[in-house]
Amino acid sequence: MQKKEIYLDNSATTAAYPEVGDLVRKVMCDFYGNPSSLHMKGIEAEKYIKQAKETFAEIWKCKEKEIYFTSGGTESDNLAIIGTATANTRRGKHIISTCIEHPAVINTLKYLEENGFEITFLPVDSCGLVSVRDLKEALRKDTILVSVMQVNNEIGGLQPIEDMAKVVKEFDNNILFHTDAVQGFGKYRLYPKRSGIDLISVSAHKIHGPKGAGALYVREGVKIKPIMFGGGQQNDLRSGTENVPGTAGLALAAKTAYASIEAKTAKMRELKNALKAGIGINEGIKFFSGDEQNQAPHILSIGFSGIKSEVLLHALEGEGIFVSSGSACASNHPGVSSVLKSIGAADEYLESTLRFSLSEFTTEDEIDYTVNAVNKLLPVLRKFVRK
C-alpha cells in the first residue's frame, strides 16, 4: 500500500473549511476594530457579531438575543451550569447529569458539589444511553438543573434529549434543561424551543471552524449569573471583548455545516458502517455502539483485545492514519476511560480501544486504506504481544 495521510480524529478537532480560514484572516487583519467602539472600525467589527447572531438564530429558530459567544465548548458548559446553578439556589441545590459527560461538565459539577450542591449522576446502559425512566425517578422538588450531552464524544451514543426534556418539563417546568451539543452540532438539527431545551453549548473547532470560539444558547427568561466579570459585553452575561474573527469563523462554519446536512451525515454513516464491516472480520473485536438510530454518524469506538490502544494508535500513525485512544480533552489525565467503565466494557478492552471519527471530507478510498492497514497490523501486533 502506498502511504497516505488520513485524519480520522475529527471528534478531537477538525480542519477548518478553507473559506473559514480566509474569513478569519480577513476579519483579523482588515476589520480589527473593537465591536464596542463607536467609530467606523468598531461598527465594521460589530457587523460580524450581528451576522453571527442571525446565523445561529436561523439554525436554532430562536431569538438573536438568546445567543452568546464564548471561547468554546468548555466555557459554554461552565457558564450554563455554574451560571444557572448559582442563580437558582432559592429553588434548590439538586442537579442531575450522567456518568459519561465530557470533563467540561463532569468537573464543573464536581466543583459545584464541593460548594454545597447535590449532584445525581445517572447510569448508562452498555451503549452509553441513559434511561428516561431513571431520569424521571431522579427528579425532585429541589431539582434546579438537568444537564445531558447530546452525543457522547468517545463512543458516539445519541441521547434521547428531547424525550428527557419533555419528562423534565412535565415534572416541573421551572427545572432547566441543558445539553452539551458539541459533538452533535452540525450533525443533527435541534430546535430548543420546540424541544423544551433551555441551554445549548457548542464549539467551533468541531465543525471545521476556528479553535477558541463557541456559542451558548440561553432561553429568554432563564435566570443565569455571569462567571466572568468585566466590561459587561454581551448583555452583562459574558464580559470580555468579543473574539470577532473567531465568532465570524464559527458562524460561517455553522452555516456551511448545515448546508445539505442530511446528505453529509448520510455519507458519514455509510462510510462508518463500511469501516465497521471491514474491521469486523477480525477476531477479538468489540464495537461499542448500539442501533444506528442511537448512534452518531461519525464516531466509531472499537476494542481490540490483546493490543494496547497506544501501540495500535502509533502503528496506524506509521501508516499515515491518525485516530484517538479516547477523548482528547482527557489526555492530560491518562488512564482507563471512565466512559468505557461506565458502559461495563470488559477488562480486556479498557486499555485497548480506539476511536475513529469521520468528517464530511472523509472518502471511501480513505476508509478502504484504513481497513487494509488495520487488518494488516492486527495479526502482526498480536503475534508480537504473545511473544
Contact 181, 133 (CB under 8 A): no
Say if strands 199-203 and 176-180 run parallel, antiparallel, or are unpaired.
Answer: parallel
Buried-state track 251-289, b at ≥16 Cβ within 10 A, e below 16: bbbbbbbbeebeebbebbbebbeebbebbeeeeebbebb
Close Cβ partners of 175 (under 8 Å, ≥ 6 residues apart): 139, 143, 144, 145, 146, 168, 169
* Residues 254/260/261/265 CA torsion (nearest 10 deg): -130
**Nearest Cα to Cα of residue 60 among 249, 251, 205, 326:** 251
Q: How far apart are CA 244 and CA 132, in angstroms?
A: 40
From 29, 62, 99, 329, active-site residue: 329
Q: Is the Cα torsion angle 372, 373, 378, 384 positive or negative in sign? A: positive
Q: Is 127 a catalytic residue?
A: no
Type of residue numbered 247:
T
Grid coordinates in use for 332? Answer: 492530560
Q: How far apart are CA 231 and CA 229, in angstroms?
A: 7
Q: How far apart are CA 156 and CA 299, in angstroms?
A: 5
Q: Active-site residues: which are they?
A: 329
